[in-house]
Amino acid sequence: MMQALSAQQAGATPANVETFLLEMRRISKTFPGVNALREVDFDLKPGEVHVLLGENGAGKSTLMKILAGAYQKDSGEIIFKGREVSFHTPKEAQDAGIATIYQEFTLIPHLSVTENIFLGDELMHGRSPVLNWPAMHRKAAEVLSALHVTIDPRVPVRTLGVAKQQMVEIAKALHHEADLIIMDEPTSALSLREIDDLFEVIAELKARGVGIIYISHHLDEVHEIGDRVTVLRDGQRVSTLPVKDTTVDQLIGMMVGRSLSEQFPKVPAPRGPEVLRVENLSRDGVLHDISFSAYAGEVLGIAGLVGSGRTELARAIFGADRITSGQIYLDGQPVQINSPADAVDRGIGLLTEDRKQQGLVLSMSVGNNISLAALGRLMRRFVVNHRKEATVANDYVQSLRIRTPSLSQQVAFLSGGNQQKVVLSKWLATNPRVLIFDEPTRGIDVGAKVEIYNLINRLAAEGMAILMISSELPEIIGMSDRVLVMHEGRVAGILERDQISQEQIMTLATGTGNGNGGNH
């Protein structure tokens, strides 16, 4: 792939401080009732990674969608490769040399990896209308190989996990050999190894003059991958600085006005009695002899590398996947959980990793989503009491400060943080004793993360047992009372609060050390 990229970039202008690949000048955009962008300036040099930061609603996505041809600007100008442009469709931007990797996948699930990579750019046998499948499969394999990913290009995308689907998205963009690549949260579903592989590819692209606009909520990535950083807030540019001249604390301050010390507002709660106990839980080929306890008032973090079995453990406890052996106890009593309905009836809720696909019905209203899991308690003689349903939903909108015009607002149009609050409200309406959070802050901004953390603190203080699965070590370290670390479907160790550190967690997660062995 990299040889092809080199050929594509053979005529590219060498990167230097005097030359810009892209200049966006005084870009403004208004939606009904909202000034999304107000005279924003942004530029990009060839061979540069320019990181774009800001909370949800700051204007990042709007600015990039204007560049990618999905939105039209109200005013301002865009200079790309030395000439003024105005893209009216994403295809026009793509043809000009701009590729976009969106956080929300744009893959077609029932098509193969090869078909997704070549969509709209298929290879033919000479001048015949017959597709050249061998050539396309071969080239798709080459692009994936450059990303150090082992995926059969012939398999349907729907058979791949989230991380590998993300890598197919990246491969799809790289195939078009773009001069400019927009990456929107490209590492949100990747393992540490896959992130390292992606960063290697980015370094190679930079060396060939490709400019990269990198959007991320992972502030540690800014200094690892970025050359310059621009911060937007409330539709305006706050500042553009060389990354080397910034600190994470300064960036957070520019984004939300909070200091780094307020990023993880952990408030320890007194540990109450045991609520959940899992003994020798196994699922053939996936989970092996899992034992642990969770207590009222506790946040039990669950850490481990991608593929370690964290999500599978959550699904087994919740009854979404059948276990082969083992026993689950609630309040000291053995229980049979054969389905999610059983789990809900016994006071267990699960906020899934993929809130849009598994946690919400995007076409339904905020109010209907909140009441969804508790409809049995809102019905009388098989008829929903809509007045009671509205009261319950409105109570959670108020108490969780969900920003929505009304209960009838379609949930698809809320920000990521507010969508996550709707999912949380849905489970709180069932009066749970145990709540399992799987990647609770994935894809939401720094400000919304703090609100979710404060809600977790509140629930723990009220005596709930919280299980929090997260790929973000700072989140695990900052918010957990204890940490259960998994490795290859087993408990590698359980760390008490005073033992928790990044080094300890990674040692256990990689199978190179032993924890304290505690299961309590």
pLDDT tens, position by position, 52-70: 998 767 889 899 999 999 9
Residue 242 shares a structural domain with residue 286? no
Residues facing 37 on adjacent strands: 29
- Are residues 213 and 90 part of one domain? yes
Under the banding of pLDDT at 50, 70 and 90, the label for residue 411 is: confident
Q: Within a domain: residue 269?
A: no
Q: Residue 203 sits in a domain of what CATH number?
A: 3.40.50.300
Average pLDDT over residues 8-35: 71
pTM, to two decimals: 0.58
262, 294, 320 - which closes a domain: 262
Q: Are residues 208 and 279 in the same domain?
A: no
What is the C-alpha R_g of the chain?
24
* The pLDDT value given to residue 518: 46
Model pLDDT, residue 13: 42
Do 92 and 216 belong together in one domain? yes
Query: Are 323 and 351 contained in the same domain?
Result: yes
Structure confidence at residue 447 (pLDDT): 74
Task: Report how far residue 208's alpha carbon sits from residue 46's, in angstroms, rounded to the nearest whole number.
Answer: 9
- Beta bridge partners, 100, equal 182
pLDDT at position 11: 41
Confidence of residue 258 (pLDDT cuts 50, 70, 90): low
Of 207, 231, 262, which residue sits at a domain end? Answer: 262
In a domain, 388, yes or no: yes
Banded model confidence at residue 33, pLDDT cuts 50, 70, 90: low
pLDDT of 299 > 70? The answer is yes
Q: pLDDT for 305-343, tens place per residue?
A: 877 899 999 999 999 999 999 999 999 999 999 999 999
Clarify whether residues 197 and 305 are in a common domain.
no
Residues 316 and 239 in one domain: no
Crossing angle of helices 162-175/133-146, nearest 10°? 110
- Say yes or no: 150 and 280 in one domain: no
| Residues 375, 305 share a domain | yes
Q: What is the pLDDT of residue 397?
A: 86
Same domain, 252 and 279: no
Instruction: Please check whether residue 466 lies inside any domain of the structure.
Output: yes
What pLDDT digit, counting tens, does each position of 81-131 carry?
Answer: 999 999 999 989 988 999 988 776 788 999 999 999 998 888 888 888 889
The number of distinct structural domains making up the chain is 2
Residue 419 has pLDDT above 90, yes or no: no
Res. 390: pLDDT tops 90:
no
Q: What percent of the chain is predicted at pLDDT more than 90?
A: 46
Q: Determine whether 383 is exposed, middle or buried from the number of CB atoms within 10 Å of its CB (0-12, 13-18, 19+).
A: exposed
In a domain, 489, yes or no: yes
Q: Which structural domain range is residue 316 located in?
A: 274-509
**pLDDT reported for residue 238:** 93
Query: Burial level of 397, CB count in 10 A (0-12/13-18/19+)?
Result: buried
Provide CB contacts within 8 A for 490, sequence distance 6+: 287, 288, 289, 290, 309
* 449 and 324 belong to one structural domain: yes
Q: Is the dihedral of CA 241, 11, 4, 101 positive or negative?
A: positive
Which of 240, 262, 284 is where one domain is finished?
262
- Whether 88 and 171 map to the same domain: the answer is yes
The residue-averaged pLDDT of 261-286 equals: 89
What would the pLDDT profile of 123-136 be if each residue is shown by its tens digit? 888 888 889 999 99
